[in-house]
Amino acid sequence: MSEFLDALLAHGFLQNALIAAILAGVGCGVVGTFVVVKRIGYLAGGIAHTVLGGMGVAYYMGADPRIGAAFAAIVAAMLIGWISLRWKQHEDIVIGALWATGMAIGIVFISRTPGYNVDLMSYLFGNILLVSPSDLVVMAGLDAVVIALVALFYKQLVAVCFDEEFARVRGVRVDAIYLLLLCMVAVTVVSLIQVVGLILVIALFTLPAAIAGQYVASVGAMILVACGLGAVFGVSGLALSYATNLPSGATIILLAGIVYLISLALTRLAYRRIVRCQGR
């Protein structure tokens, strides 16, 4: 651990990685909480994977892949949202098709790009050590946008996640809030590609929020705990990957997954003990 701290002081790229881990944790905590309580993990996964299509096209055209990613993410969010609102019964099939098609488009365009071949693995699984200062500015900006939106529309977001029909009766524009939520998912996916990649991002959305949900009983508290957990997983996963020379994104996700399983076992055990005590 002290080795990591020494290296941290010595190397700028590690400092960048550390800040990126914290920013990623915060973004995921905020948006992931809504993904978990609204149970749209599959939709979020669809948005994340479709992003590769946009990145591939942008890369082929010689543009910044981040621009392509942002464009594809928003288009995917609106498309998936629209499908989910209009054809609820076909939702899973259409999202599955979009998910795979998006990735296929990305891979085809990347393979057709002449010259130096991009490191596809870093799009898919991230590389936190390559985060640049300009990436950090983008991440901080996107985090700020998401936090501001949640602060403004917290009531409506909770109402739509909790009871859509009642929200509609109370005059909430349910469809607009739902699409806003999916756009926040899209924006956060884009900001996380560099950190954990678009395949692993779904775990960072769901695991910290799911752990938080086992201990607190309000959406607001869930957001705070999930942000904290996300940042802790990011930083400790980074340190662990540095010490063991393992890929950073995968290490962060494995750490979150293990903690989730332990937490799940502990809460089940505690619940059983309560039931047994009451039984006596």
Binding site for other proteins (CB under 8 A): 37, 151-156, 158-159, 161-163, 165-172, 213, 216-219, 221-222
In whole angstroms, how close is the CB of 151 to other proteins at the nearest point?
7
In whole angstroms, how close is the CB of 177 to other proteins at the nearest point?
11
Let me know: does 202 contact 41? Beta carbons within 8 Å: yes
Question: Residue 84 or residue 194: which is nearer to other proteins going by CB?
Answer: 84
In the 8-state DSSP scheme, what is residue 29?
H
Nearest Cα to Cα of residue 23 among 243, 210, 187, 222: 187
Alpha-carbon span 182 to 47, nearest angstrom: 8
Q: Residue 36: how many CA atoms within 13 Å on its side-chain side? A: 24
Question: Residue 189 or residue 222: which is nearer to other proteins going by CB?
Answer: 222
Backbone angles phi, psi at 172, to 5 degrees: -75, 135
Q: How far is CA 214 from the centre of its chain?
A: 19
In whole angstroms, how close is the CB of 138 to other proteins at the nearest point?
25
- Where does residue 250 fall: left (phi above 0), alpha (psi -120 to 50 degrees), or beta otherwise? alpha
In whole angstroms, how close is the CB of 84 to other proteins at the nearest point?
18
Question: Residue 43 or residue 55: which is nearer to other proteins going by CB?
Answer: 43
In whole angstroms, how close is the CB of 257 to other proteins at the nearest point?
22
Question: Residue 167 or residue 189: which is nearer to other proteins going by CB?
Answer: 167
Which long-range CB contacts under 8 A does 266-274 form with residues at least 24 apart? 267/214, 267/215
Structure tokens at 254: 């494995």
Question: Residue 115 or residue 171: which is nearer to other proteins going by CB?
Answer: 171
Question: Residue 201 or residue 210: which is nearer to other proteins going by CB?
Answer: 210
Handedness of CA 21, 46, 150, 146 (dihedral sign): positive
**Token match 């005590």: residue?**
277
In whole angstroms, how close is the CB of 222 to other proteins at the nearest point?
6
